[in-house]
Chain A
Amino acid sequence: MSTARSTVMARIREALGRTQPPSLAEARADLARRVPDAIPRPIWDEPQVERFVARLEASAATWARVNGRADIPGAVGDYLQDAAEELIGIAAHPLLTELAWPPAWSISHDMENAASWHTAIAVARAGIAETGSLVMGSGPASPTTLNFLPDRHIVVIAADEIVDYMEEIWERFRADGSMPRTINVITGPSRTADVEQTLQLGAHGPRSLHVLIVNSAS
């Protein structure tokens, strides 16, 4: 590797007073000795899904519950009201592409057009009750820019994909064997407080976030 790398590494080893780094296993053992197993985290009494929607609301997102996947187009129509007037982008996710969307809607799955979509619909990999967050893992069925380009963002999540804490999503990604390029943990619409510390929604990303919780996605 480059000389810059060896220079920096040599300085670090000198500062730490050694010539060889400890193994990763030794390092992890030291960490385990230093930090207790119990992670300090928020706790709550209400059922998981209630916590999740309460945190969603606190983040200025809106939500609705639907019974099954067939109810998704109707719930989207209720939320958008003027759906036929819009350009709607839909992630190429099997849960969405196989649905019967109203023929009058202008729907696209092609990310080439994403910059002109008013509304985009995507599917979350998981939800986090602790914070009311949606977890989106990038890939063909969930393009990352789709989460940021549209004015309105609608995210579908299966109720049984909600977990308590962020740590639990790491188990899922480890089980996949690799991380996707991008994991977006999204909590509410885009916002800024950069003008006189006044909170304003819709800075660069979506101006609104609507979550559809599907009781049974199968």
Chain B
Amino acid sequence: MAVRQADFRARAQAALQDDNLRDALDKAKGGFVDKRASAILDLPGFETLRERGRQIKDHTLAHLDTYLETFEQNVERNGGQVHYAADAEAAREAVLAICRDASARQVIKAKTMAGEEVGLNEALEHEFETVESDLGEYIIQLAEEPPSHIIAPAVHKTRAEITALFDRHHHQREGGPLRETPDLVDEARGVLRQKFLGADIGISGANFLIAETGSIALVTNEGNADLSTSLPRVHIAIAGIEKLVPGLEEASSMLRLLARSATGQQITAYTTFITGARREADPDGPEEFHLVLLDNGRSRMLGDEFREMLRCIRCGACMNHCPVYSAIGGHAYGWVYPGPMGAVLTPMFQGLDKSRDLPNACTLNGRCQSVCPVKIRLPMLIRRLRDHEFEQRLTPTGTRWALQAWAWLARRPRLYQLATRSAGTVLRTLGKGRARRVPLAGAWTAARDLPLPSAGGTFQQRWRAARTSRGEQA
């Protein structure tokens, strides 16, 4: 999928004025934040577990060649095939070749961020009837939109919008009655059940790759990944090489982190371990299992100062706790990975010149790092990217949208509380005379004479100071 970068600021502006989006994001954010907070209460050692998660991933990355070889041998021992893909195009070609070899006609997909990253759907749709089975992904596929959140892809869609989409695609009509959530879910269940039963190929991602056994771990709540990977005669999984963990015990630890951080559950409804293809005596399951292992820039990150970003388990907690993400939503980020993780990953995968606004879509408040289950120092990585921009003279000018996001935020009491620390951080950063390296602040101070606050004081005081200086009414 191509990056839609050039008009980032226009998208952020539009997002800030979209009331439907505001409501949807507001609702979702509260849910995610509260659920995570209560889910970690049952595990008093959660902080120790985060440290363990960090160690497991760092260790695996430092031994990636060893574990990849072990993993590959175990997949093959269980009747599966491993395909390496150096870049996005190679990954698409590998998947297309498997589908063609199988004389496939229909493809059913479970949600895969790696698939989104390489633009798999566009490639498949030319040749095969391709249907997304995760309800959120299905909704945005009908709407012909990219996902706006890595865990809840249709988080920006209201019930009325979903009703209209279903009317158009399932009933070829406009203006049907607004339907309740159970009815919409049931309708999609009925339509998609036929797609599951008719598909020749099932495509999934993988949350973890387990070297010890050659298994992939997949988590869902809907059960769509399970139907996608067990009913069709061929199962193709696509995953980044950084998804490896050494063994089953390490996978269990990572799963405890993932479920709590992503959806605030102790475990998802379905946690599935798939090892190779169907066995001879099995009454069901696919005859072929293929795993496409994606590099696409990961090996470069492994060797540079951004290695720790490869610890990411795609839980979405950083965006759920990000004041900028909650103000502008996922689409404004312009590519498949939004929020803080996207602000680092998109420049990594797509180039800093194509995503130069993203490292600046951040107030450096640090909440993302404090909730990240594998302790990725996201603000530090984002600052490094800003430094690179500065060195490469890519720094955008006149970036006012972040201030507007902030103004919006300050009028929302719950989010406002969450962001209290962000004000301190940004304003103190200004106070240290680093304004030239913070484009947001650069734009701000260029136009206004901002009084620098003392290190103490409340968000409200600072906010009032900032607003007065910008000549706004209370």
Contact = CB atoms under 8 A, between A and B. Distances in A.
- Residue picked from B186, B230, B246, B300, most chain A C-beta under 10 Å: B230
B27 interface: yes
Interface stretch (B277-285, B342-350, B408-416): B277-285
A187 to B, nearest CB: 5
Nearest to B24: A196
A61 B193 CA distance: 23
Nearest to A11: B299
Contact of B267 (A178, A187, A191): A187
B295 interface: yes
Given A182-B273, A187-B271, A204-B133, A8 B226 contact: no
A14 to B, nearest CB: 7
Contacts of A184: 226, 270-272
A103 B219 CA distance: 39
Nearest to B214: A179
A43 B139 CA distance: 39
B184 interface: yes
A145 B227 contact: yes
A21 B66 contact: yes
A185 B270 contact: yes
A30 interface: yes
B246 A39 contact: no
Contacts of A28: 246
A183 B134 contact: no
A90 B241 CA distance: 40
Given A31-B59, A148-B230, A195-B135, A190 B269 contact: yes
Contact of B59 (A30, A173, A180): A30
Given A13-B65, A15-B300, A185-B272, A192 B28 contact: no
Contact of A16 (B250, B266, B275, B302): B302
Contacts of A195: 135, 154, 159, 162, 181, 184-185
A133 B272 CA distance: 12
Interface of B: 24, 27-28, 31, 42-46, 48-49, 52, 55-56, 58-59, 62-70, 78, 82-86, 90, 133-136, 139, 152-155, 158-159, 162, 181-182, 184-186, 189, 192-193, 196-197, 213, 215, 221-224, 226-227, 229-231, 241, 246, 248-250, 252-253, 255-256, 263, 266-279, 281-285, 293, 295, 299-300, 302-304
26 contacts: A4-B84, A7-B86, A9-B68, A9-B84, A12-B299, A12-B302, A13-B65, A14-B303, A18-B65, A21-B65, A27-B59, A30-B59, A30-B62, A34-B59, A35-B59, A139-B281, A144-B284, A167-B252, A170-B248, A179-B273, A179-B275, A181-B277, A181-B279, A203-B222, A204-B133, A204-B189
Given A27-B59, A203-B221, A203-B224, 14 more contacts: A11-B299, A13-B65, A14-B303, A27-B66, A92-B283, A140-B282, A170-B249, A183-B273, A185-B273, A187-B271, A192-B136, A200-B181, A202-B186, A205-B227
